[in-house]
Amino acid sequence: MKINKFKVTGSDGFKLSDFSTKDTLGFESRESVQEALEKNILEIAELQSKLYAEGKTAVLIIFQAMDAAGKDGAINHVMRGVNTQGVDVHSFKQPSAEELSHDYLWRAVKALPERGKIGIFNRSYYEDVLIVKVHKLYEKLNVPDRCKDKDVIKRRYKQIKQFEDYLWENGIVTVKFFLNISKETQRKRFLERIDNKDKNWKFSDADIKERQFWDDYQEAYQSAIAATSTERSPWYIIPADKKWFSRALISNVLLEVMRDIDPKYPTISAKQEEMLKDSKKKLTKEE
């Protein structure tokens, strides 16, 4: 799949509105990508097992989206082949009182994956330049005035960019997905959640409230993505009106990220090899 079409590595000319929500690269159905998806999932699992054994690099995968874009489903599907030992999923909700008494990156830092692991952020510190920007929540923070003037969001873009550079320089590879749905798709999915009893639990009236700020969110995503896309920590704008396509595309991107890391099972030294031979001899004798 041509994943570069969806990759953003800098602010130059980036316009979210140029990105389609319904692109499927010409694929016409779930079936047409199923085989590739399964193959990707297997290969990702294999590479993850090497990543874990090697224990050098960590991978941080960030999912951001409007409600009902399919974050949870995408995470479950794409990671389903991977050994649960090697993956941690962390959801970022409204900050608790304790979290609010710290700087906004604190809770994210605590949740960062250790070397050898894949950490998935279902929402992330990007909320602190998205919902926080849309509703000016920073005004309510108990911080010195200089920390919540009108430039606070701009400063946070800079901080996030520096933070992600810091991660890279310390062996943590970051990849960011924005699941891009249309307003109409969100409307349909909300209606489905209301009409289908088994999906009622997924619906909250807060979702309708946030939907009214759709344009403000698009603007906030536009600015945040433009300001924080880099070669090292790119954003991928995933067309998400068709869930089957977004999952296949995400699996392709992850596979590329893992291949680039190119983890290897550790090899053993001559001394260790000698030790293994010796142990084998002893164990065989016992028979």
**Min. distance of Cβ 260 from ligand ATP in angstroms?**
28
Among 22, 50, 115, 123, binds ligand ATP (CB under 6 A): 123
Cα–Cα distance for residue pair 84/231, rounded to 1 Å: 29
**Min. distance of Cβ 2 from ligand ATP in angstroms?**
29
Q: Does 76 bind ligand ATP (CB under 6 A)?
A: no
Q: Does 72 bind ligand ATP (CB under 6 A)?
A: yes
Each residue 133-172 as x (binds ligand ATP by CB under 6 A) or -, in order, gives ----x-----------------------------------
CA 25 to chain CA mean position, Å: 22
The DSSP annotation for the chain comes to --GGGGEE-SSTT--GGGS-SS--TT--SHHHHHHHHHHHHHHHHHHHHHHHHH---EEEEEEEESTTS-HHHHHHHHTTTS-GGGEEEEE--SPPHHHHTS-TTHHHHHTPPPTT-EEEEES-GGGGGTHHHHTTGGGGSSS-GGGSSTTHHHHHHHHHHHHHHHHHHTTEEEEEEEEE--HHHHHHHHHHHHHSGGGGGG--HHHHHHHTTHHHHHHHHHHHHHHH--SSS-EEEEE-SSHHHHHHHHHHHHHHHHHHH---PPP--HHHHHHHHHHHHHHHHT-
| Number of residues engaging ligand ATP in binding (CB under 6 A) | 13
164 binds, among Mg ion, ligand ATP, none (CB under 5 to 8 A by kind): none
Cα–Cα distance for residue pair 125/128, rounded to 1 Å: 5
Q: Does 63 bind ligand ATP (CB under 6 A)?
A: no
185 or 252: CB nearest ligand ATP: 185
Q: Does 132 bind ligand ATP (CB under 6 A)?
A: yes
Q: Does 209 bind ligand ATP (CB under 6 A)?
A: no
23 or 67: CB nearest Mg ion: 67
**Min. distance of Cβ 270 from ligand ATP in angstroms?**
51
Binding residues for Mg ion (CB under 5 A): 67
**Min. distance of Cβ 68 from Mg ion in angstroms?**
8
Q: Does 245 bind ligand ATP (CB under 6 A)?
A: no
Q: Does 185 bind ligand ATP (CB under 6 A)?
A: no
Q: Does 81 bind ligand ATP (CB under 6 A)?
A: no
Which residues contribute to the site for ligand ATP (CB under 6 A)?
Answer: 67, 72, 92-95, 122-123, 127-128, 131-132, 137
